[in-house]
Structures are given as structure tokens and as C-alpha cells.
């Protein structure tokens, strides 16, 4: 079956890596994600990844505790690099060629983010992982994922979460919440639905970049999306 997308950006939650732990990385979850990515990689799709750092440190929570927000955000960026390195290691154990690029230079462990180099890696069928967010405080990893997706001209952002799409309300709190199979950007604005932070969402809207929100923890979902099956919720224009 032919792929629906040629180049995708996968956004993963740092918190999801905790699994059932309270902190850090659950190696079973990490291995599961690596296997899902391997299955997609085998289809020939060009794949870039952004992963959050909330399982280790969140800058905004630090600021709520009285810490300096800028300092906290930089600490959060470093947490995303730790997760990115862990994912890179898991993928390379499966013989998948990868490159890790960071928005903050740390040449001993990863490349600096250079757009043209990232695109070239993708063209050579390497999985590119983008770490350290945008390199700037006050921006989330959702915004980093959107920015990188636009820069590399990805066809779609796939946002892997622990729920299977976008609902009328939080399905973990409201049993009557109804799932959307598709929804427009304007409807998300009108209904004040929480898809990703508003900066990231607006960037997607302005650059005509569709978003698919799906359950990353259900085996096979990622590959189904890539080959064109309807999974999760598509945000379109």
C-alpha cells in the first residue's frame, strides 16, 4: 500500500515516556515507541520527531513554584534533549539511522539545528530528532514541532497522545464527550478546544499544515495513519 504522506513530523509527549512511573523514562514505553517508529520507517516515509520533556522537567511549573521562568524553560529544553537521546539510542538499537539536532548548541552530543542539513538527512532516509525546543524560552515543544514541520516542509503533524483524538470535552473527565473524526481550524477556535498551544495551532493554520491527533499507545496506529487509514482526529481547513 502506498504511503499517503511523503514527509511527516511526529510530536511525542514527554509525559507519555513515564508509563506508569512518577518520573523519568519507562523503558518498555520507549521500546514500544521505537518499534512503532521502525514499522513506519520501513514504509519509506521521511520522518522527523519532536519529543517533550515533561517527564523530567517543565519550565512553566517551575515558574509557578517561584523559579525564574526563563531559567526553568532552558532546563526544560535540556530535558527534551535527554529524551531525544534516549529515543535515538532505542532507534539505533533497531538499526535505524538517526540524527539528533539541537536548537541549543552542544556539539559533543548532537548537531546544531541547520534546516538544509535536516532536510538532507531526511532525503537520505535518516530519522531526524529535533531537541531543545525552539531554543527560546516561553515557547512550548508544540510550537517547536510546528516550526520544524514548516521549515522541513512536512506534509502533516502527527500528535501522539494518550487519547484517541479530539473530543467535545476531556474524555477522561466527561463520559459523554464525543469524538470528532475531522474538524476545521475555525471550529477549534470557535469551540475553544484544546489541541495544542495557541501559538503552535495558529502557526499550523497560517501555513496550511494539517494536524492529526491520535493515540500513540495503541499499536499500529502510527503506521495506519501513514498509509492513509482514518485514525484519531484530523484538523483540516
Say how many residues make up the chain: 237
- Reference 209, options 161, 150, 128, 158; nearest CA is 150
| Residue 25 resides in a domain | yes
| Residue 1 resides in a domain | no
| Residue 128 resides in a domain | yes
pLDDT (0 to 100) of residue 97: 97
| Residue 124 resides in a domain | yes
Share of the chain above pLDDT 70, in %: 96
* Residue 176 clears pLDDT 80, i.e. is over it: yes
Residue range 173-187: average pLDDT? 92
Residue range 68-92: average pLDDT? 94
Contact (CB, 8 A) for 29 and 21: no
Instruction: Please tell me the distance from the alpha carbon of residue 153 to that of residue 148, in angstroms, as a whole number.
Output: 8
pLDDT (0 to 100) of residue 189: 94
Instruction: Please tell me the distance from the alpha carbon of residue 153 to that of residue 119, in angstroms, as a whole number.
Output: 9
pLDDT (0 to 100) of residue 162: 84
pLDDT (0 to 100) of residue 169: 87
SS3 of the chain: the string is: CCCCCCEEEEEECCHHHHCCCCCCCCHHHHHHHHHHHHHHHCCCCEEEEEECCCCCCCHHHHHHCCCCHHHHHHHHHHHHHHHHHHHHHHHHCCCCCEEEEECCCCCCCCEECCHHHHHHHHHCCCEEEEECCCCCCCCCHHHHHHHHHHHCCCCEEEEEECCCCEECCCCCCCCCCCEECEEEHHHHHHHCCCCCCHHHHHHHHHCCCCEEEEECCCCCHHHHHHCCCCCCEEEEC
Residue range 191-218: average pLDDT? 94
**Range(s) of the domain holding residue 148:** 7-153+166-227
Residue range 205-228: average pLDDT? 94
pLDDT (0 to 100) of residue 74: 93
pTM: 0.94
Instruction: Please tell me the distance from the alpha carbon of residue 187 to that of residue 195, in angstroms, as a whole number.
Output: 12
| Residue 2 resides in a domain | no
Residue range 149-170: average pLDDT? 93
Predicted confidence (pLDDT) per residue in 211-220, tens digit: 999 999 999 9
Instruction: Please tell me the distance from the alpha carbon of residue 10 to that of residue 162, in angstroms, as a whole number.
Output: 14
CATH number where 93 lies: 3.40.1160.10
* Residue 171 clears pLDDT 90, i.e. is over it: no
Predicted confidence (pLDDT) per residue in 94-125, tens digit: 999 999 999 999 999 999 999 999 999 999 99
Residue range 24-47: average pLDDT? 94
| Residue 70 resides in a domain | yes
Average pLDDT, the chain: 92
* Residue 77 clears pLDDT 70, i.e. is over it: yes
| Residue 11 resides in a domain | yes
**Residue, of 82 and 68, whose pLDDT is higher:** 82
| Residue 237 resides in a domain | no
In the chain, how many domains are there?
A: 1
Instruction: Please tell me the distance from the alpha carbon of residue 234 to that of residue 210, in angstroms, as a whole number.
Output: 7
Q: Which of 27-41, 107-121, 127-141, 163-177 is predicted least confidently?
A: 163-177
Predicted confidence (pLDDT) per residue in 56-72, tens digit: 886 666 666 777 889 88
Amino acid at each position: 500500500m502506498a504511503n499517503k504522506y511523503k514527509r511527516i513530523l511526529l510530536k511525542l509527549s514527554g509525559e507519555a515516556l513515564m508509563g506508569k512511573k512518577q518520573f523519568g523514562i519507562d523503558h518498555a514505553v520507549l521500546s514500544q515507541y521505537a518499534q512503532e517508529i521502525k514499522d513506519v520507517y520501513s514504509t519509506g516515509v521521511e520522518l522527523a520527531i519532536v519529543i517533550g520533556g515533561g517527564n523530567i522537567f517543565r519550565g512553566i511549573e517551575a515558574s509557578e513554584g517561584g523559579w525564574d521562568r526563563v531559567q526553568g524553560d532552558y532546563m526544560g529544553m535540556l530535558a527534551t534533549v535527554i529524551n531525544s537521546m534516549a529515543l535515538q539510542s532505542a532507534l539505533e538499537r533497531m538499526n535505524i539511522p538517526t540524527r539528533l539536532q539541537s536548537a541549543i548548541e552542544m556539539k559533543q552530543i548532537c548537531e546544531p539545528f541547520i534546516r538544509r542539513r535536516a532536510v538532507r538527512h531526511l532525503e537520505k532516509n535518516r530519522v531526524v530528532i529535533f531537541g531543545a525546543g525552539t531554543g527560546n524560552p516561553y515557547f512550548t515543544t508544540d510550537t517547536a514541532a510546528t516550526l520544524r514541520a514548516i521549515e522541513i516542509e512536512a506534509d502533516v503533524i502527527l500528535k501522539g497522545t494518550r487519547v484517541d483524538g479530539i473530543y467535545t470535552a476531556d474524555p477522561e473527565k466527561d463520559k459523554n464527550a464525543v469524538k470528532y473524526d475531522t474538524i476545521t481550524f475555525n471550529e477549534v477556535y470557535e469551540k475553544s478546544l484544546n489541541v495544542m498551544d495557541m501559538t503552535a495551532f495558529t502557526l499550523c493554520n497560517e501555513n496550511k499544515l494539517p494536524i492529526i491527533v491520535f493515540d500513540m499507545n495503541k499499536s499500529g496506529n502510527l503506521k495506519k495513519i501513514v498509509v492513509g487509514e482514518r485514525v484519531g482526529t484530523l484538523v483540516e481547513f
